[in-house]
Chain A
Amino acid sequence: MVSGIGRAVNERISNLLYALGFAVEVFRAIPEYLSSGRTRARILVAQVLFTGVEALAVVAALSAAIGAVIIIQGFNLLPALGQEQLIFVILIAVITREFGPILTAFIVVARSGTAITTELGHNVVSHEIEAYLATGINPISFLVVPRLLGVTISVVLLNIYFNVFGLLGSYAVSQFVSPIAFDVYVYGLFDAVTLTDLFTSVTKSLVFGVIIALVATYHGFAVARAATEIPQRAIRSVGHGVVLCILANTVITLVSYL
């Protein structure tokens, strides 16, 4: 019993150390990637197109709907408290600081995280990774780094989309609830937003992008031999990605108010 617990703890610690070592290897391979030729740039562009561009419709719909809900709730609750002017602060706090980064991260975990884990897992099973090694191509710099950069750039871009569509969506709904002039609305937002809000939002996106890419690629390479391991790893990739993003979100939010 005790030895079983000991073994499990040992295994978890060694897995954690392996994952940290993997992350260090990925960051060490970034200069090699950046100095590489046209071939690897194609993978980065493809990743940004898949993660950042193809998810645009989902992000736009989700953010507009969330913006609409916030404005409806705000216009219903705040007047009763005599705090209508806080609607802009709430919009910035909820959309820019919190929902923008974390919800885009969830979308990317679900779409791109699973896709990356599945693709790399398949590459392992079909010996394609060994074929890269046999050719002299470092799979970390060739496969992982462009995905890391592509996912991170995409999460930041999606966060910007989310903010634009979320704030526009709330403006559109406000015209039905309590019409405001567009210039007043925009002025209210600019008045409410601070540099800390923007910095926190971008920092979260960058951190989430790195987490999602590292977790997805780690689980992809963790597939050992059988194709049946691929969906198992994809599920773990989503679970770990979501949990780590939430934890990171909490820490960054906490730090931003210190």
Chain B
Amino acid sequence: MSQQVSSAETATTPPYWEEPAVELSSVSVVFGHTTALRDVSVSFLKGKTTAVIGPAGSGKSTLLRAAAGIIPIDAGEVRHFSSPIDSLNRREAAAHKRLIGFVFQDAALWQNMSIRRNLALPLEFHYPNISQADVDAKTDEALRRVRFRGNPDLRPATLSAGQAKLVAFARATILDPEILFLDEPTTFLDENAYRNVVELLEVMRRNGRTLIMVTHNSEVTHRIADRIVLVDEGTVESTGRTRQILEASDERTQQLLHAAVFSELEDAPDAPAEGFSQADDATTDQNPVRPASRSESSQQASCSTPEHLPKEAANDGGGPR
């Protein structure tokens, strides 16, 4: 009997390369009278790069924030490495945040601190006993990695939008997070900074980090994304491998892909103006087929590494004091 149960469990356990790092189950988020996310269930696989795309106002950024656990959800559950993030106590939750990084669309640098302090604060918070020399070395290294050229002792208000984005990227990656959430990582960047950030994302991807990014940039999607989550009107329309989604023949998917690129370009004039070439080719398909991968989005994958990361982080004394 127990053997039967065991074999059944084995059958539903995904292979290690498809373990979810982040899972949302029936998540809803309501702002006032507006439902920003409606019963969303989606998994972001470990070690994969997922592009969250969709038209303006479709709920992409809310989905990203809910997945990162930085906004409260009104229904459902968010799990990181199979652990519900709501079940962590305050100390465990704080320590768990060492494993994630978040790059905000508008950088969201702390304006009342110098650029250097912006990078030092996460280090000092998560490693209270770190020496000043180590803090300085790590902040210098992080700024060098993003090729930041400027005075780190100045306040963020002195930075251009592109420079601020680089500093935000350096801050989000200074703890070498397992999961990096990126909200429009390439907007506001000049050509050099753009290439630099794309290279950094590729390096993180090669190093097995889980990247979840909201983007409208087709080049970034083509080059980096292993998977796509297509969002519209607060729901996940379809998920799947990048090529699978881009080459989908149904009209609905193609319409959303177009809306995702062109509506967002109006909001973000600095972004490279490229479309999805495969999507363009497929728009003539007149068969409105509901995306087959919709069911994939609602799969509730189980994971064989329960709670290991949050608890490990919480127990090694690195939590808030």
Mask for A112-144, Cβ within 8 A of B = 1, else 0? 000000010010001110111111111001000
Which residues of B lie under 8 Å from residue A36 when comparing CB positions?
A: 128, 320-321
Number of interface residues of B (CB under 8 A): 32
**A38→B194 CA distance, assembly (Å):** 36
Interface SS majority for chain A = helix
Which residues of A lie under 8 Å from residue B93 when comparing CB positions?
A: 136
* CB nearest neighbor in A for B128: A37
Select which of B106, B122, B128, B321 is within 8 A of A135 by beta carbon: B122
**A36→B97 CA distance, assembly (Å):** 17
Report whether A32 and B320 are in contact in the complex, using a CB–CB cutoff of 8 Å: yes
A205–chain B nearest beta-carbon distance, Å: 27
Which residues of A lie under 8 Å from residue B110 when comparing CB positions?
A: 128, 131-132
Query: Which residues of chain B from 87 to 145 have a CB within 8 Å of any chain A CB?
Result: 90, 93-98, 100-102, 104, 106, 108-112, 121-122, 124-126, 128
Task: List 30 A–B pairs whose Cβ atoms lie within 8 Å, in order of A's numbering.
Answer: A32-B321, A35-B321, A36-B128, A36-B320, A37-B128, A38-B124, A122-B111, A128-B108, A128-B111, A130-B65, A130-B70, A130-B104, A131-B104, A131-B108, A131-B110, A132-B110, A133-B69, A133-B70, A134-B97, A134-B100, A134-B101, A134-B102, A134-B172, A134-B181, A135-B121, A135-B125, A136-B96, A136-B98, A137-B121, A137-B125
Q: Which 3 A-B pairs have the closest CB atoms?
A: A136-B97, A134-B102, A127-B108
A39 within 8 A of B: yes
**A131→B68 CA distance, assembly (Å):** 11
Which size class do A's interface residues fall under? 20 to 34
Which residues of A lie under 8 Å from residue B128 when comparing CB positions?
A: 36-37
**A119→B124 CA distance, assembly (Å):** 23
**A136→B321 CA distance, assembly (Å):** 12
Select which of A35, A128, A136 is within 8 A of B94 by beta carbon: A136
Which residues of B lie under 8 Å from residue A133 when comparing CB positions?
A: 69-70, 97
Known contacts A131-B108, A136-B96, A137-B122; 7 additional CB pairs below 8 A are A127-B104, A130-B71, A136-B122, A136-B126, A136-B320, A137-B121, A137-B320
Which residues of B lie under 8 Å from residue A32 when comparing CB positions?
A: 90, 320-321
**A141→B94 CA distance, assembly (Å):** 12
Report whether B98 and A39 are in contact in the complex, using a CB–CB cutoff of 8 Å: no
Which residues of B lie under 8 Å from residue A37 when comparing CB positions?
A: 124, 128, 321
Which residues of A lie under 8 Å from residue B68 when comparing CB positions?
A: 134
* CB nearest neighbor in A for B117: A39
Report whether A134 and B125 are in contact in the complex, using a CB–CB cutoff of 8 Å: no
Mask for A7-48, Cβ within 8 A of B = 1, else 0? 000000000000000000000000010011111000000000
A190–chain B nearest beta-carbon distance, Å: 45
Query: Which residues of chain B from 62 to 76 have a CB within 8 Å of any chain A CB?
Result: 65, 68-71
